[in-house]
Amino acid sequence: MNSRVEQYQGLATQAKGLLAATDDPVANAANLAALIFNMLEQVNWAGFYFLRDGRLLVGPFQGQPACVEISLTTGVCGAAASSGKTQRVADVHEFPGHIACDVNSRSELVVPLYEGGSLIGVLDLDSPVINRFDQADQQGLETLAEIYLEASDFSYFNK
């Protein structure tokens, strides 16, 4: 087993513990973003965008200040949200419509967050290194996204 897979197994265990304290989706997003940002190397942005009024609105994150709104038809986040498929982009300069929130970002991994068939938002990671994310990162982040969805009650968003 390679070390990246083992690292994600450890992160999944930590995330389950960290997210057990509350089912508030904002609190859980804040702590998961901080965990990911601090535990993974070569990541310059990690965080959430949530679906609000038909577009993605920035949520809890770690990194440089980011674009506030992203349309569902734009960028890597929009592609993940509208397709329901994880977007793993080796070189964002080659991705049509990529939104450069931080000019240092060169590769990106975006996991869509769906619950019961409804789009909740996306989990987005940026790296200053080209081709930073591999299949192990994708599977690891998809697992962390599942842990986040299971730990959170999205009816809070309607209160």
99 belongs to the binding site for ligand SME (CB under 6 A): yes
Q: Closest separation between CB of residue 81 and ligand SME, Å?
A: 9
Q: Which of 47, 61, 53, 30 is nearest to 119 (CA)?
A: 53
Q: Which of 25, 59, 60, 75 binds ligand SME (CB under 6 A)?
A: 75
Rounded to an integer, what is the distance from CA 50 to the centroid of its chain?
10
108 belongs to the binding site for ligand SME (CB under 6 A): yes
Joined together, the tokens standing for residue 96 give 């049509």
Joined together, the tokens standing for residue 87 give 């977007």
Cβ neighbours of residue 58 closer than 8 Å, sequence gap 6 or more: 47, 48, 49, 66, 67, 68, 69
Query: What are the residues facing 55 on neighbouring strands?
Result: 52, 71
When the beta carbons of 121 and 140 are compared against ligand SME, the nearer one is 121
Q: How many residues form the binding site for ligand SME (CB under 6 A)? A: 14
50 belongs to the binding site for ligand SME (CB under 6 A): no
Residues 110-149 that bind ligand SME (CB under 6 A): 124, 126
Which residues sit at the interface with ligand SME, rule CB under 6 A? 45, 66-67, 70, 75-77, 98-99, 101, 105, 108, 124, 126
